[in-house]
Amino acid sequence: MYDFLIIGGGIFGVSTAIELAKRKHKVGLLNPDKIPHHLAASTDVTKAVRMEYGSDTEYFQMAEICIDRWHEWNDLFKEQLYHEVGLLMLCKDSMEQSTRSYEKASFDNLVSSGYKTDRLDAQALSERFPAFNPEVYKDSNYNPRAGYVESGRVVELMTAYARSLGVNIHESQTAEEFVIDKGQLTGVKSREGSTFNCGHAIVAAGAHTPYLVPELKPYMKTTGHPVFWLKCDSPTNFKPPKMAVFMAEISNTGWYGFPFLEKHGIVKVAKHTHGQNIHPDQNDRRVSDEEVEDMRRFIEESLPDLSNAPLVYTRKCLYTDTLDGHFWIDHHPEIKGLSVSSGGSGHGMKMGPILGEMTADMAEGKSHRFSDRYRWRHLTTDTVHSEEARFVMDRRI
Ligand SMILES: Cc1cc2nc3c(=O)[nH]c(=O)nc-3n(C[C@H](O)[C@H](O)[C@H](O)COP(=O)(O)OP(=O)(O)OC[C@H]3O[C@@H](n4cnc5c(N)ncnc54)[C@H](O)[C@@H]3O)c2cc1C
């Protein structure tokens, strides 16, 4: 009998399991197959960590706290999981222009919070970050307090840490049905035929969350986003300090990428935009030829040295999208002992160091300084999508 049963071994689930175990609760966690699961959104080689959230000061503050904690986790796990290589916001024209409100507001938030950043014109960009086409990017900002995490490795080490705290990790167990008695959840049945009795179940199943909790379907959906690995044989200009995590006019194009990854010999780029509506179990998650051509056009214009770089791997990774772009951390409105921690909406990994405490507080019926806007809420197709970095037409997804 568990006090809390976590459904899902991604960053939302494992960070919550650790926090609840630290609070001396009896915790179990279910996940299909192995953790990190090969199809999980958290399972990747890199995820960006940034405070650059446009005019959104709450995500700015959350990211600020998380960056400190990512450093602590490097110490805790005795491994460099978070690489503070900095973040480069590239703009094709002056940041002061209205079409670049995301970049300008992010820059203003950094400066007004006392962070020293380097504003670069085309000349300075070509000297400092020579891989980028200075003909294209006229105004950029480099913030050294940012970087990327090795997200799959993070989840792997956190799972081992959760086990060491007494969390029962049940791999190869897929939650399928809730056992509910007079409106109170008492257990979870798995597809593999087991029943797990618990006082409270927390659904942190990523893209499968709206399928396990169908009441969420009007507010939460699954979208697919392409990721590209380009083989880089001459990495000199693609390594820090000549390269950083970069966002290339991201709020108007969606394009972003990472420095050269020694372990894989590649430069990874991806697109943070609408994505494609996908059912997590009914789609082959193949990246289309059109998406590859779109990537080639971006590379040719922005990183010409990679124009002929072989494409060695592609992946369609899934966002658990809420219509407003905010996480979803709350109790189910009708079923007692059932709650949700999900809705990463393409930007949840960096918040790993704070998601666990936010979810544990919610589960224990406490409020957290950052809990209000992630509560159960009514959203419609008219809801404005508010994650400002994301290239979303008409701010609707
Ligand atoms: C292409 C891409 C790029 C991204 N880039 C960034 C970035 O740069 N920075 C950033 O901060 N965030 C980024 N994100 C977002 C971030 O990866 C996600 O918000 C976060 O990883 C979501 O974590 P999760 O735990 O909700 O889901 P997941 O990591 O998907 O984990 C869910 C887990 O639940 C399990 N599960 C599913 N169904 C069941 C079931 N029935 N029973 C039991 N377990 C189940 C799955 O196997 C999986 O292990 C990106 C996401 C994508 C897709």
In the reported structure, the alpha carbon of residue 115 is separated from the centroid of ligand 1 by a whole-number distance in angstroms of 30
Determine, yes or no, domain membership for 252: no
pLDDT at 95 over 80: yes
SS3 of residue 284 by DSSP: coil
Determine, yes or no, domain membership for 127: no
Determine, yes or no, domain membership for 351: yes
> Per the structure, how many domains does the chain have?
1
Q: Quote the percentage of the chain above a pLDDT of 70.
A: 100
SS3 of residue 88 by DSSP: strand
pLDDT per residue over 345-378, tens digit each? 999 999 999 999 999 999 999 999 999 999 999 9
Evaluate: CB of 206 within 6 angstroms of ligand 1. Answer: yes
Q: At what angle are helices 352-363 and 57-76 packed, to 10 degrees?
A: 100
Determine, yes or no, domain membership for 272: no
Least confident span in 5-9, 11-15, 391-395: 391-395
- The CATH number of residue 179's host domain is 3.50.50.60
Q: Say if residues 267 and 260 touch (Cβ distance below 8 Å).
A: yes
Evaluate: CB of 270 within 6 angstroms of ligand 1. Answer: yes
Q: What is the pLDDT of residue 340?
A: 98
pLDDT at 99 over 80: no
Structure tokens at 15: 């960070």
Determine, yes or no, domain membership for 392: no
Determine, yes or no, domain membership for 78: no
pLDDT per residue over 125-149, tens digit each? 999 999 999 999 999 999 999 999 9
**Closest ligand 1 atom number to CA of residue 347:** 12
- Cα separation values, 237 from 55, 73, 130, 240, 244, Å: 32, 29, 6, 8, 10
Q: Say if residues 183 and 334 touch (Cβ distance below 8 Å).
A: yes
pTM: 0.98
pLDDT at 394 over 90: no
Q: What is the pLDDT of residue 157?
A: 98
Alpha carbons 39 and 386: distance in angstroms, whole number = 26
Alpha carbons 210 and 233: distance in angstroms, whole number = 42
| Domain region containing 35 | 4-42+152-218+323-374
Determine, yes or no, domain membership for 367: yes
pLDDT per residue over 160-173, tens digit each? 999 999 999 999 99
pLDDT at 123 over 80: yes
Determine the residue of 190, 349, 358 to mutate for testing ligand 1's pocket, defined as the one with the most ligand atoms within 8 A of the Cβ atom.
Answer: 349
Determine, yes or no, domain membership for 383: no
More confidently predicted of 381 and 151: 151
Evaluate: CB of 280 within 6 angstroms of ligand 1. Answer: no
pLDDT at 97 over 90: no
pLDDT per residue over 246-297, tens digit each? 999 999 999 999 999 999 999 999 999 999 999 999 888 999 999 999 999 9
| Gyration radius (Cα) of the chain, Å | 21
Evaluate: CB of 343 within 6 angstroms of ligand 1. Answer: no
Alpha carbons 141 and 387: distance in angstroms, whole number = 19
pLDDT at 103 over 80: yes
Evaluate: CB of 210 within 6 angstroms of ligand 1. Answer: no
Q: What is the pLDDT of residue 310?
A: 98
In the reported structure, the alpha carbon of residue 136 is separated from the centroid of ligand 1 by a whole-number distance in angstroms of 34
Partners of residue 277 on adjacent β-strands: 223
In the reported structure, the alpha carbon of residue 98 is separated from the centroid of ligand 1 by a whole-number distance in angstroms of 33
